[in-house]
Structure 1
Amino acid sequence: MNKNLFWLIALLFTLSFGFMSCAEDTTVEDPYANWDDRNVRYLDSIADVARANEIPELNEVEKWVIKCNYKISNESSLNPGLGGSSVSSNPFETPPSVNDSVYMKVLEVGEGDGNSPLFTDTVSVYYRGKLINGTVFDQNYSGDLNTEVHVPTHFALQAKQSDGVFGDGLIVGWITALQYMKEGDRVELYIPSALGYGTQGQSSIPANSVLKFDLKLEKVIHPDGLESYSLKVD
């Protein structure tokens, strides 16, 4: 055998062995490793930031609104909506559990006297939902939101409930947040897993996931009767 050919084969064998060794040593990080613990810590950090910035006089740069689960909330507000003050309390716990409230970072406040949806209304919204690792699990627009190009989706707030999820796909966290928003409001919404899909998960959403939404309430549609609660508008 030609001496040069022998050394070439030996070199290729050595390189192949090295590549296989590197491949075996390379591990792919699991994006869902320690998922439950990571979500607990993430929600705690969001709650801390929201509580620190809930009173607008203390921070003119950033404003957060905290709203207790509408099913157990006994709060009253002299200034409903995102433009007024809002201090939520859970009557069953002191202090309130972080899992009993939604946390909204105010991005835009609607102009004028916009409507807030009632439980019997339908809403027209733009949204993008993410997990805490940045994975997008649902959205009705791509890229930056452009209301002149993108088309909103319509949901009825009142629908048959099953395991915390409503017939049109609305979760308790969404219903809680939307009832305190006005037309034109846009928020960065954080929903504890207990007010989302809980321990069951949903499709691409693992169990015990905190949900983060960019949510804009475009329009409130009042029903004409019971038959239009699930109104779909073209």
Structure 2
Amino acid sequence: MKLKTKFLLILVAVITVVSSCSKDDYDAEKQLAVDDALIVDFIAKNNIPAIKHSSGLYYQIITPGDGASVTAASTVGVVYTGKLLNGTQFDQATNTVSFRLSGVIPGWTIGVPLIKVGGRIRLIIPSTLAYGNESPGAGIPKNAVLDFTIDLHNAQ
């Protein structure tokens, strides 16, 4: 009986240690503050006349567009370039690609409706409105602030 009790205590201790090691200390509010400082520094160094949205997203309307308005539920056709703050390009669409705004990262869902069809916008997206504490694949590390320039060609 004593051996079983010791075994169970050791097993519980090992499980506790292993589970505590696998916990992620990610704090979205703390990360947003870190991202915000990075973005403020980036826009100052690059003289970008960006506006801060209440969500934490920064944007620059380059061309407002004069076509149809879009919403988060719209399907949009866009051409875009995505970069990290260090200038590394991780994605680009040189031909129009279409997708629902409700199916992309929150930074796009919030930012693209700030312009109309025919417009161009620059979105500087904190990681909390992008991929957060996850890396979606090669080229975008976890907690990455993303810098997109987006041309809105059409919407449905």
CA contact (8 A) 1:106 1:187 kept: yes
Matches within 5 A, 1:6-85: 41-46=37-42, 63-68=49-54
Structure 1: gaps spanning 5 or more residues: 1-35, 54-61, 69-99, 142-150, 159-165, 222-234
The aligned amino acid for 1:152 is: T
Mark the CA change 1:134 to 1:64 in structure 2 (over 3 Å): closer, same or farther.
closer
The aligned amino acid for 2:59 is: M
Q: Tell me the CA shift for residue 138 of structure 1.
A: 0.8
> Please, which of 77, 96, 99 is the counterpart of residue 155 of structure 1?
99
Indicate the residue corresponding to 1:116 in structure 2.
69
SS class of match (2:144): coil
Indicate the residue corresponding to 2:143 in structure 1.
208
Decide which structure has greater strand share. Answer: 2
Structure 1 CA distance for aligned equivalents of residues 49 and 37 of structure 2: 22
Structure 2 CA distance for aligned equivalents of residues 220 and 102 of structure 1: 22
Indicate the residue corresponding to 2:88 in structure 1.
135
Decide which structure has greater helix share. Answer: 2
Structure 1 CA distance for aligned equivalents of residues 122 and 71 of structure 2: 21
The aligned amino acid for 2:114 is: Y
- Relative to the length of structure 1, the TM-score reads 0.47
Structure 1 CA distance for aligned equivalents of residues 36 and 73 of structure 2: 33
Indicate the residue corresponding to 1:175 in structure 2.
109
- Relative to the length of structure 2, the TM-score reads 0.68
Indicate the residue corresponding to 1:220 in structure 2.
155
Mark the CA change 1:108 to 1:216 in structure 2 (over 3 Å): closer, same or farther.
same
Structure 2: gaps spanning 5 or more residues: 1-30
Query: Larger Rg: 1 or 2?
Result: 1
